[in-house]
Protein backbone atom coordinates (compact mmCIF):
# COMPACT_ATOMS: atom_id res chain seq x y z
CA UNK A 1 0.00 0.00 0.00
CA UNK A 2 1.90 3.07 1.11
CA UNK A 3 5.48 3.95 1.44
CA UNK A 4 6.05 4.23 5.17
CA UNK A 5 4.39 3.79 8.51
CA UNK A 6 3.27 7.22 9.62
CA UNK A 7 4.10 8.45 13.11
CA UNK A 8 0.94 7.18 14.79
CA UNK A 9 0.88 5.55 18.20
CA UNK A 10 -0.15 1.89 18.13
CA UNK A 11 -0.35 -0.59 20.96
CA UNK A 12 -0.88 -4.36 20.87
CA UNK A 13 -3.44 -5.90 23.20
CA UNK A 14 -5.12 -9.24 23.82
CA UNK A 15 -8.86 -9.81 24.00
CA UNK A 16 -8.36 -12.18 26.94
CA UNK A 17 -5.58 -13.67 29.06
CA UNK A 18 -5.36 -16.81 26.90
CA UNK A 19 -4.41 -14.66 23.88
CA UNK A 20 -1.70 -12.72 25.74
CA UNK A 21 1.12 -14.85 24.24
CA UNK A 22 -0.19 -14.10 20.74
CA UNK A 23 -0.28 -10.38 21.49
CA UNK A 24 3.25 -10.53 22.91
CA UNK A 25 4.49 -12.32 19.80
CA UNK A 26 3.05 -9.68 17.46
CA UNK A 27 4.33 -6.85 19.65
CA UNK A 28 7.82 -8.34 19.46
CA UNK A 29 7.69 -8.94 15.71
CA UNK A 30 6.38 -5.46 14.94
CA UNK A 31 8.40 -3.65 17.62
CA UNK A 32 5.22 -2.20 19.13
CA UNK A 33 4.41 -1.59 22.82
CA UNK A 34 1.88 -3.67 24.71
CA UNK A 35 0.81 -1.01 27.16
CA UNK A 36 0.58 2.68 26.33
CA UNK A 37 -2.37 4.85 27.33
CA UNK A 38 -2.20 7.46 24.58
CA UNK A 39 -2.35 5.08 21.60
CA UNK A 40 -4.41 6.06 18.57
CA UNK A 41 -4.77 2.48 17.35
CA UNK A 42 -4.84 -0.96 18.95
CA UNK A 43 -3.71 -4.11 17.16
CA UNK A 44 -5.87 -6.69 18.92
CA UNK A 45 -5.40 -10.44 19.23
CA UNK A 46 -8.95 -11.82 19.34
CA UNK A 47 -10.64 -15.22 19.11
CA UNK A 48 -11.65 -14.30 15.54
CA UNK A 49 -8.11 -13.32 14.53
CA UNK A 50 -5.87 -10.28 14.48
CA UNK A 51 -7.68 -6.96 14.03
CA UNK A 52 -6.90 -3.26 13.96
CA UNK A 53 -9.10 -0.91 15.96
CA UNK A 54 -8.90 2.86 15.86
CA UNK A 55 -9.38 4.26 19.35
CA UNK A 56 -11.43 7.22 20.47
CA UNK A 57 -14.97 8.45 19.90
CA UNK A 58 -16.62 8.02 16.49
CA UNK A 59 -13.93 5.53 15.42
CA UNK A 60 -15.02 2.99 12.81
CA UNK A 61 -15.25 -0.66 13.81
CA UNK A 62 -12.26 -3.00 13.71
CA UNK A 63 -10.73 -4.26 10.48
CA UNK A 64 -9.38 -7.77 10.01
CA UNK A 65 -8.72 -10.00 7.03
CA UNK A 66 -11.35 -12.71 6.59
CA UNK A 67 -11.27 -14.81 3.44
CA UNK A 68 -13.79 -17.35 4.77
CA UNK A 69 -16.87 -15.27 5.61
CA UNK A 70 -18.33 -11.84 4.95
CA UNK A 71 -17.94 -9.67 1.86
CA UNK A 72 -14.98 -11.57 0.41
CA UNK A 73 -16.84 -14.89 0.60
CA UNK A 74 -19.92 -13.31 -0.97
CA UNK A 75 -17.85 -11.96 -3.84
CA UNK A 76 -16.23 -15.39 -4.34
CA UNK A 77 -19.63 -17.07 -4.58
CA UNK A 78 -21.67 -14.40 -6.34
CA UNK A 79 -19.22 -11.85 -7.74
CA UNK A 80 -19.43 -12.87 -11.38
CA UNK A 81 -16.42 -15.17 -11.70
CA UNK A 82 -14.20 -14.62 -14.71
CA UNK A 83 -16.67 -12.00 -15.98
CA UNK A 84 -15.53 -9.53 -13.30
CA UNK A 85 -13.76 -6.47 -14.59
CA UNK A 86 -10.57 -7.21 -12.65
CA UNK A 87 -10.42 -10.66 -14.24
CA UNK A 88 -10.76 -9.18 -17.71
CA UNK A 89 -8.18 -6.52 -16.89
CA UNK A 90 -5.46 -9.01 -15.90
CA UNK A 91 -6.24 -11.22 -18.90
CA UNK A 92 -8.20 -14.13 -17.42
CA UNK A 93 -9.84 -15.94 -20.33
CA UNK A 94 -10.53 -19.47 -21.48
CA UNK A 95 -7.32 -21.43 -21.07
CA UNK A 96 -5.44 -18.46 -19.57
CA UNK A 97 -4.78 -17.98 -15.85
CA UNK A 98 -1.79 -15.64 -15.69
CA UNK A 99 0.76 -15.54 -12.88
CA UNK A 100 0.05 -12.24 -11.17
CA UNK A 101 2.04 -10.09 -8.76
CA UNK A 102 -0.21 -7.81 -6.71
CA UNK A 103 2.38 -5.25 -5.63
CA UNK A 104 -0.02 -3.21 -3.44
CA UNK A 105 -1.80 -6.06 -1.68
CA UNK A 106 -3.54 -4.21 1.15
CA UNK A 107 -6.08 -6.57 2.71
CA UNK A 108 -5.70 -9.02 -0.18
CA UNK A 109 -9.26 -8.80 -1.52
CA UNK A 110 -8.38 -8.37 -5.20
CA UNK A 111 -5.64 -11.00 -4.97
CA UNK A 112 -8.10 -13.44 -3.41
CA UNK A 113 -10.58 -12.89 -6.24
CA UNK A 114 -7.90 -13.70 -8.81
CA UNK A 115 -6.65 -16.69 -6.81
CA UNK A 116 -10.22 -18.00 -6.59
CA UNK A 117 -10.32 -17.91 -10.40
CA UNK A 118 -7.15 -20.01 -10.59
CA UNK A 119 -4.35 -17.45 -10.84
CA UNK A 120 -1.12 -18.05 -8.95
CA UNK A 121 -0.63 -14.88 -6.91
CA UNK A 122 2.33 -13.19 -5.30
CA UNK A 123 1.38 -10.38 -2.91
CA UNK A 124 3.57 -7.54 -1.66
CA UNK A 125 2.58 -5.39 1.30
CA UNK A 126 4.99 -2.87 2.75
CA UNK A 127 3.00 -1.42 5.66
CA UNK A 128 3.92 -3.75 8.55
CA UNK A 129 0.56 -3.59 10.38
CA UNK A 130 -1.43 -4.33 7.24
CA UNK A 131 1.04 -7.07 6.38
CA UNK A 132 0.40 -8.62 9.79
CA UNK A 133 -3.38 -8.55 9.27
CA UNK A 134 -2.93 -10.17 5.86
CA UNK A 135 -0.56 -12.84 7.18
CA UNK A 136 -3.02 -13.69 9.96
CA UNK A 137 -5.96 -13.88 7.54
CA UNK A 138 -4.09 -16.17 5.15
CA UNK A 139 -3.03 -18.45 8.00
CA UNK A 140 -6.58 -18.80 9.30
CA UNK A 141 -8.00 -19.39 5.81
CA UNK A 142 -5.41 -22.08 5.05
CA UNK A 143 -7.22 -24.49 7.36
CA UNK A 144 -10.66 -23.93 5.84
CA UNK A 145 -12.15 -26.67 3.67
CA UNK A 146 -13.57 -24.27 1.07
CA UNK A 147 -10.88 -21.63 0.74
CA UNK A 148 -7.70 -23.45 1.83
CA UNK A 149 -6.94 -24.43 -1.77
CA UNK A 150 -7.46 -20.82 -2.91
CA UNK A 151 -5.11 -19.22 -0.40
CA UNK A 152 -2.50 -21.88 -1.18
CA UNK A 153 -2.12 -19.98 -4.47
CA UNK A 154 -1.33 -16.75 -2.57
CA UNK A 155 2.26 -16.11 -1.49
CA UNK A 156 2.83 -13.10 0.76
CA UNK A 157 6.01 -11.03 0.51
CA UNK A 158 6.67 -8.11 2.85
CA UNK A 159 8.74 -5.07 2.08
CA UNK A 160 8.98 -2.18 -0.35
CA UNK A 161 7.45 -3.26 -3.66
CA UNK A 162 9.83 -1.18 -5.76
CA UNK A 163 12.87 -2.76 -4.10
CA UNK A 164 11.44 -6.29 -4.31
CA UNK A 165 10.49 -5.87 -7.98
CA UNK A 166 13.90 -4.47 -8.91
CA UNK A 167 15.63 -7.37 -7.13
CA UNK A 168 13.24 -10.04 -8.49
CA UNK A 169 14.88 -13.39 -9.20
CA UNK A 170 13.54 -16.27 -11.23
CA UNK A 171 10.61 -16.26 -13.63
CA UNK A 172 8.96 -12.83 -13.79
CA UNK A 173 5.22 -12.48 -13.20
CA UNK A 174 3.20 -12.34 -16.40
CA UNK A 175 1.01 -9.56 -14.98
CA UNK A 176 1.71 -6.98 -12.29
CA UNK A 177 -1.33 -5.41 -10.65
CA UNK A 178 -1.15 -2.05 -8.87
CA UNK A 179 -3.79 -0.32 -6.76
CA UNK A 180 -1.92 2.56 -5.11
CA UNK A 181 -3.44 4.82 -2.49
CA UNK A 182 -4.25 8.16 -4.07
CA UNK A 183 -4.55 11.65 -2.60
CA UNK A 184 -8.10 12.72 -1.90
CA UNK A 185 -9.95 14.88 0.58
CA UNK A 186 -13.29 13.14 0.54
CA UNK A 187 -14.76 12.51 3.99
CA UNK A 188 -18.14 11.10 3.06
CA UNK A 189 -19.53 7.76 4.17
CA UNK A 190 -18.73 6.48 0.69
CA UNK A 191 -15.07 6.16 1.63
CA UNK A 192 -14.67 2.59 2.83
CA UNK A 193 -14.04 1.94 6.50
CA UNK A 194 -10.69 0.32 5.69
CA UNK A 195 -9.51 3.39 3.80
CA UNK A 196 -10.56 5.77 6.57
CA UNK A 197 -8.72 3.57 9.04
CA UNK A 198 -5.57 3.08 6.99
CA UNK A 199 -4.98 6.57 5.67
CA UNK A 200 -3.44 7.85 8.96
CA UNK A 201 -1.18 4.77 8.90
CA UNK A 202 -0.09 4.74 5.29
CA UNK A 203 -0.57 8.19 3.78
CA UNK A 204 -0.59 8.42 -0.03
CA UNK A 205 1.58 6.53 -2.50
CA UNK A 206 3.72 9.40 -3.69
CA UNK A 207 6.11 6.97 -5.37
CA UNK A 208 3.47 5.43 -7.64
CA UNK A 209 5.28 6.60 -10.83
CA UNK A 210 8.46 4.78 -9.74
CA UNK A 211 6.40 1.69 -8.87
CA UNK A 212 4.78 1.75 -12.32
CA UNK A 213 8.18 2.05 -13.99
CA UNK A 214 9.57 -0.89 -12.00
CA UNK A 215 6.48 -2.97 -12.80
CA UNK A 216 6.74 -2.24 -16.52
CA UNK A 217 10.38 -3.33 -16.46
CA UNK A 218 9.58 -6.69 -14.81
CA UNK A 219 6.17 -7.89 -16.02
CA UNK A 220 6.45 -10.16 -19.04
CA UNK A 221 2.97 -9.54 -20.48
CA UNK A 222 1.15 -6.56 -18.95
CA UNK A 223 0.76 -4.14 -16.07
CA UNK A 224 -2.69 -3.23 -14.77
CA UNK A 225 -3.35 -0.18 -12.57
CA UNK A 226 -6.61 0.32 -10.70
CA UNK A 227 -7.62 3.98 -10.44
CA UNK A 228 -10.64 5.97 -9.28
CA UNK A 229 -12.78 6.41 -12.40
CA UNK A 230 -12.12 10.14 -12.80
CA UNK A 231 -8.54 10.23 -11.55
CA UNK A 232 -5.66 10.88 -13.95
CA UNK A 233 -3.41 8.03 -14.99
CA UNK A 234 -0.22 7.57 -13.01
CA UNK A 235 2.52 9.86 -14.25
CA UNK A 236 4.65 8.12 -16.86
CA UNK A 237 3.83 6.07 -19.97
CA UNK A 238 0.18 6.26 -20.99
CA UNK A 239 -1.98 3.11 -20.82
CA UNK A 240 -3.06 1.67 -24.16
CA UNK A 241 -6.66 1.39 -23.00
CA UNK A 242 -8.84 1.22 -19.89
CA UNK A 243 -11.80 -0.76 -18.61
CA UNK A 244 -14.20 1.55 -16.81
CA UNK A 245 -16.71 0.75 -14.09
CA UNK A 246 -19.04 2.86 -11.97
CA UNK A 247 -16.45 4.09 -9.47
CA UNK A 248 -13.11 2.79 -10.69
CA UNK A 249 -11.27 1.84 -13.84
CA UNK A 250 -8.36 -0.38 -14.85
CA UNK A 251 -5.57 1.18 -16.91
CA UNK A 252 -3.85 -1.49 -19.01
CA UNK A 253 -0.24 -1.36 -20.18
CA UNK A 254 0.30 -4.33 -22.52
CA UNK A 255 3.69 -5.76 -23.42
CA UNK A 256 2.80 -9.10 -24.99
CA UNK A 257 -0.42 -11.00 -25.71
CA UNK A 258 -1.56 -13.57 -23.15
CA UNK A 259 -2.32 -16.80 -24.98
CA UNK A 260 -3.59 -20.22 -23.88
Q: Answer whether 0.85 is exceeded by the pTM.
A: yes
Contact between residue 170 and residue 218 where contact means Cβ atoms under 8 Å apart: no
Q: Bigger pLDDT: 216 or 193? A: 216
Question: 125: annotated binding-site residue?
Answer: yes
Residue limits of CATH 3.40.50.150 in the chain: 70-254
C-alpha distances (whole Å) from 152 to each of 40, 143, 248 are 34, 10, 28
**Is the confidence at residue 135, as pLDDT, over 50?**
yes
Mean pLDDT for 117-129 is 96
* CA atoms within 13 Å, Cβ hemisphere of 42: 19
Q: Which CATH class is domain 70-254?
A: alpha beta
Q: Bigger pLDDT: 60 or 178? A: 178
Edge-to-edge strands, sheet with 10-14: 10-14, 41-46, 49-54
Q: Bigger pLDDT: 241 or 193? A: 241
Domain 10-54 bears CATH identifier 1.10.1740: no
Confidence of residue 41 (pLDDT cuts 50, 70, 90): very high
- Of 218, 219, 100, 88, the C-alpha closest to 155 is 100
- Of 118, 34, 42, the C-alpha closest to 82 is 118
Mean pLDDT for 244-250 is 93
Q: How high does pLDDT run on average in the chain?
A: 90
Q: What is the pLDDT of residues 153-180, one digit of tens each?
A: 999 999 999 999 999 999 999 999 999 9
Mean pLDDT for 172-195 is 73
Question: 179: annotated binding-site residue?
Answer: yes
Any alpha helices (H) in the chain, and if so which ranges? 20-30, 70-78, 85-90, 109-116, 128-142, 148-151, 161-166, 193-202, 208-218
Question: 126: annotated binding-site residue?
Answer: yes
Residue limits of CATH 3.40.1630 in the chain: 10-54
Amino acid sequence: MAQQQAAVRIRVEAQNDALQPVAQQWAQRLALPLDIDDAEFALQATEAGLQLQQLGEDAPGPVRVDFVEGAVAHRRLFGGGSGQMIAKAVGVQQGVRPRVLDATAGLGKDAFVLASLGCDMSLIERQPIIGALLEDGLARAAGDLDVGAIVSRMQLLKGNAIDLIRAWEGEPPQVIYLDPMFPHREKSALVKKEMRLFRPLVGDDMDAPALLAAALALASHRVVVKRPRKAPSIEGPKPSHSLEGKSSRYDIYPKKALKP
